[in-house]
Amino acid sequence: MLVLLSCKNETTKKIKNLKKETKAATTILKNVNTTQEKIEALSKEEPLSNKALKEWLPETLNGMKRTGYKSGSVNFANAPSIRGTFKEGNKEFHIEVTDGAGVMAGVVLMAGTTYQMGMEEEDERKHIKKVTENGIEARQTYMKQQNNTRLNFLYENRFYVEVRANSMTPEETWDAVEKIKLNRLMTLTK
C-alpha cells in the first residue's frame, strides 16, 4: 500500500511539472508569433526621414542645451535614426532613437524586446533591472559611484531608444525622457 501511495505522489508531481513546462512553452510560442506579427506589420510601414527625426530633437531639455546631434544610421545600418547630446554643468544626457519601420523592423524589434526580459542584478558598483516608467518597459542600469544611468527600450513597438545620462539619477533621467516627448514621434508617423 505504501509503495502505491509513493508512486501516486511521484506521478502527480511529474504531471504538475509537465503542465508547468507546457504552459511555459505555450507562452514562448505565443510571444514568438506576436513578435513575428509585429515585425510583418512594421516592415510595411514607411520609416520617418532623418530630417523629420532631426526636427523632432529639441534645442533644450530640462535646462540643458543641445550640444550636438548626428542623424542617419546611428545604431543600425540603413535605419533612420538620430542621436542628440545635451549638457549643463556636469550633467550630460545622450539619446539615440532608431525608427524600426521598413526593412529594419526585425532587427530593431528584436533588439528592443531583449531589454524587456525580466532580470535584476546588483552589486556595490551597479544596479541593473527591468522597470516600467510612464508605461515604458525598459532595462535600467544605474552606476552608483559615478551617478550614471543607462536606459534601453522599445517605444510604441517601433522606436528603439537608448539613453545614457551622466551625473543623473534614474529619476532625473526618466524625467528628461518624459520631457523630450517621445509621443511626438508617433504623431510624425501619421
Q: Is 117 helix (H, G, I), strand (E, B) or coil?
A: coil
Same domain for 73 and 34: no
Report which of 84, 92, 68, 87 is spatially closest to residue 166, judged by C-alpha positions.
92
**Mean pLDDT of all residues in 155-170:** 96
Q: How far apart are CA 132 and CA 139, in angstroms?
A: 9
Range of the domain at 17: 1-44
Same domain, 12 and 55: no
Mean pLDDT of the chain: 84
**55 and 35 both lie in a single domain:** no
The pLDDT value given to residue 85: 98
- Are 62 and 26 in a shared domain? no
Separation between Cα atoms, residue 120 and residue 140, nearest integer Å: 10
| 4/65 same-domain check | no
Q: Are residues 100 and 121 in the same domain?
A: yes
> 40 with 70, same domain?
no
Q: At 101, is the secondary structure helix, strand, or coil?
A: coil
Cell reading at 135: 508605461
Q: Which amino acid is residue 19, in one-letter code?
A: K
Number of domains in the chain: 2
Is residue 35 predicted with pLDDT exceeding 60? yes
Residue 86: count other Cβ atoms within 10 Å of its Cβ: 25
CA distances from 103 to 44, 90, 149, 187 (A): 8, 39, 31, 21
What does the pLDDT look like over 90-129, one tens digit per residue?
999 999 999 999 888 888 878 777 766 778 999 999 999 9
Same domain, 86 and 122: yes
Read off the pLDDT band of 166 (50, 70, 90).
very high
At 136-147, the pLDDT tens digits run: 999 999 999 999
Give the pLDDT of residue 28: 43
Q: Verify that 132 and 74 share a domain, yes or no.
A: yes
pLDDT at residue 84, as a whole number: 97
pLDDT score at 98: 92
- Shared-domain flag, residues 115 and 86: yes
Quote the pTM value.
0.79
Let me know: does 84 contact 57? Beta carbons within 8 Å: yes
Element (H, E) at 63: none
Classify the C-alpha dihedral 26-30-33-36 as positive or negative: negative
Asked whether the predicted pLDDT for residue 30 surpasses 50, the reply is: no
**Nearest residue to 66 via CA among 87, 35, 90:** 87
User: Are residues 106 and 171 located together in one domain of the fold?
Assistant: yes
CATH code at 142?
3.40.1000.70
Q: Do 55 and 123 fall within a single domain?
A: yes
